[in-house]
Amino acid sequence: MSSFNTSISNFEGVAYIITSLAMGGAQKVLLGLLESPQLPVKSTLVISLLKTQGLQESFARLGVEVFYLELERPQYILKKIFELRKLLAERKIKLIYSFLHHANLFAVLIAVLSIKPAPKLIWGLHDTPLKHLYTRWQHRALFWLSIRLSGIPQKIILVSERSRQRYLEIGYPASSMQLIPNGVLVQPLNLGQIESDRLAVRAELGLNPAAILIGSLTRAVPEKDLPLMLLAFASFSQQCEAHLVLVGEGVDTQNTELQVQINALGLQGRVHCLGIRQDAARLIRAFDIASLSSRSEALPLFLVEAMALGVPCVATNVGDIPLVLAGQGELVAAGDSTALAAAWQKVLAYSAAQRQQKIELAWQYIQTHFSQERMQEQHLAVFAELIQTWEASQAWNMSMHHKRC
């Protein structure tokens, strides 16, 4: 632990910038961070670039004020930026912590436009950059600019070792990088709650109480490789009464491309696309297997949540997923649908004793290495260091001003 002062008063003047409040890992990490009893939530400011629906109710329950830049309405951008500049000055913001690439770039802009002294900056990175995933020129331009501005933030927080290595390779400064893995609230396993949720979710979907559910909290983006999961499930579902539940942004019945893929594989009625949900923990507890088919990851919060809720995991061997599963889940090569289907079958073939042992060991491992409290403590140490640096700089500036007067 750091020797810096981490009293509640020390964390006044912190603002957070994020792309949106959609149901995603970065958003959940921010929520988990704000649940720290050491942070003065009532005076906290969260700045969202977009007004995408998702976790608004969760932030509201914490009493957090959210300011929307509303970039989806470009005619109001300048007006919004100057409103935000005034708000940051009124709040005496000392530190800005941004999440994800677009928000990181806006954090630099806002810091430059801030009334002096400028707040300290932390960038948060929740991905592992791979060239083949950045096919659009907009993504390549964003990436190019991010690399060139990466020397501006005082700290860059990454959630996985693999991510840290890749960002070092492409030119991000090592001196400002700090690894803080994602964390979740870990509570004792409630077998009664698990059984209740299993039955309730199956009833909601109109399924047999004994139906097998493979579940994934994901997004409709190339790096999640949903076509691979569908292909694996098409093979797997021929062997048993199984259903695939997909939850997350863009993973709904309005996604025509996804629906075409489902229909082409003859999976109508076997794949349930639920979109954004507020009851993620309830859904996860209902799964027989939690699974990801990703081509690229940093440290996926979904797998951490699933292990903390007593659900066996199957995922591709990318990013820090091997570190998360720690031998208590099944790993397969990315891009291999046959191996993914076989791994699901292997988990279902566990004996009751073997399944229970893996669940208990996974839960203990998450409690030790990926708890929300551990994540909060590591963040607070960084906050305290930068805020005290800002305050020392402010005191020096004031003393110099008085000398000149």
Q: What is the pLDDT of residues 219-249, one digit of tens each?
A: 999 999 999 999 999 999 999 999 999 999 9
Q: Are residues 106 and 206 in the same domain?
A: no
Q: Are residues 162 and 276 in the same domain?
A: no
Inside any domain, residue 37? yes
> What is the reported pLDDT for 169?
95
Q: What is the pLDDT of residues 12-41, one digit of tens each?
A: 899 999 999 988 899 999 999 999 999 998
Inside any domain, residue 2? no
Inside any domain, residue 89? yes
Q: Are residues 219 and 115 in the same domain?
A: no
What is the DSSP-derived secondary structure letter of residue 217? E
Bridging pattern class, strands 242-247 and 289-292: unpaired
pTM score of the predicted model: 0.91
Q: Are residues 247 and 145 in the same domain?
A: no
Does residue 53 register a pLDDT over 90?
Answer: no
Q: Are residues 217 and 324 in the same domain?
A: yes
Q: Are residues 341 and 383 in the same domain?
A: no
Q: Are residues 211 and 352 in the same domain?
A: yes
Does residue 329 register a pLDDT over 70?
Answer: yes
Inside any domain, residue 94? yes
Q: Are residues 167 and 196 in the same domain?
A: no
Q: Are residues 18 and 156 in the same domain?
A: yes
Q: Are residues 208 and 292 in the same domain?
A: yes
> What is the reported pLDDT for 404?
65
Does residue 192 register a pLDDT over 70?
Answer: yes
> What is the reported pLDDT for 385?
95
Does residue 336 register a pLDDT over 80?
Answer: yes
pLDDT, mean over the chain: 93
Domain count, the chain: 2
Distance CA 108, CA 308 (A): 36
Q: Angle 101-113/77-91 helices, nearest 10 degrees?
A: 70
Q: Are residues 145 and 277 in the same domain?
A: no
Residues in the chain, overall count? 405
Which pLDDT band holds residue 116 (cuts at 50, 70, 90)?
Answer: confident
Inside any domain, residue 1? no
> What is the reported pLDDT for 160?
96
For residue 273, the surrounding DSSP H or E stretch is strand 271-275
Domain extent at residue 123: 8-183+372-404
The arrangement of strands across the sheet holding 95-99 comes to 65-68, 45-48, 14-18, 95-99, 120-125, 155-158, 177-179
CB-based contact 27:55 (threshold 8 Å): yes
Q: What is the pLDDT of residues 250-292, one digit of tens each?
A: 999 999 999 999 999 999 999 999 999 989 999 999 999 999 9
CATH code, 165: 3.40.50.2000
Q: What is the pLDDT of residues 351-360, one digit of tens each?
A: 999 999 999 9
Q: Are residues 263 and 359 in the same domain?
A: yes
Inside any domain, residue 113? yes
Does residue 405 register a pLDDT over 70?
Answer: no
Cis bond upstream, residue 222 (ω within 30): no
Inside any domain, residue 377? yes
Inside any domain, residue 392? yes
Residue in this structure with the two tokens 């958003």, named with its chain if needed: 27
Q: Stretch 157-179: mean pLDDT, rounded?
A: 97
Between CA 232 and CA 237, with CA 236 as vertex, the angle to 5 degrees is: 115
